[in-house]
Chains A and B, each alone.
Chain A
Amino acid sequence: KAGVTQTPRYLIKTRGQQVTLSCSPISGHRSVSWYQQTPGQGLQFLFEYFSETQRNKGNFPGRFSGRQFSNSRSEMNVSTLELGDSALYLCASSLGGIFSYEQYFGPGTRLTVT
């Protein structure tokens, strides 16, 4: 079974621009979660989508948004990029449902904002 894939793997953007990251979950998984990882803050939860609906949200500004499509693929968008948005963005998929946190992570997208 194919794992979680994320595209692109690496991205360089300029302050003020926006960016869209993509995540394809494991086949049959309906839940997709997004995380931001930085050396200073560690792994932080951004949001989770389940069956095209945002089910949970972390403490990030509204510049961070996401969506999920009917095939469970998900995209994350960051608008008006700031230098502090430079990070590894990870997505994870799981079967879904309450407490189904046996999540499978993708390799991540490394975003650099200059």
Chain B
Amino acid sequence: DAKTTQPPSMDCAEGRAANLPCNHSTISGNEYVYWYRQIHSQGPQYIIHGLKNNETNEMASLIITEDRKSSTLILPHATLRDTAVYYCIVVTNTDKLIFGTGTRLQVFP
């Protein structure tokens, strides 16, 4: 099963871009990368997902390297409400969801 690795914590100034990396070096060709975040005491919230191409939605952008072994979630203008734990998830061939360790993003004023 593919496994993801994320830094345990990151800081970001409010208004700046937050770039959250994820390593998934054992990912297979048809496995998707999903990102979720969990704000304290709430259930996780879907952010974005991708396979090969870069993706963008109203919340974030997802950049996947050409070899697909890593990706970066970009919050273009971080706000205090973006403070949360961000999970990078790889959907395996057997459709099991394996959560990464998560990155605790702290946005400061």
Could you tell me which A residues sit within 8 Å of B by CB distance?
4, 33, 42-45, 48, 55-56, 58, 90, 92, 98-99, 101-108
Contact = CB atoms under 8 A, between A and B. Distances in A.
Nearest to B48: A102
Given A56-B95, A56-B96, A101-B32, A42 B101 contact: yes
B89 to A, nearest CB: 7
A13 B32 CA distance: 38
A45 B99 CA distance: 8
A44 B99 contact: yes
A4 B43 CA distance: 10
A68 to B, nearest CB: 16
Interface in B68-109: 87, 89, 91, 94-99, 101-102
Given A58-B96, A101-B91, A42 B102 contact: yes
Contacts of A42: 99, 101-102
A43 B101 CA distance: 9
Given A4-B43, A42-B102, A108-B43, A102 B97 contact: no
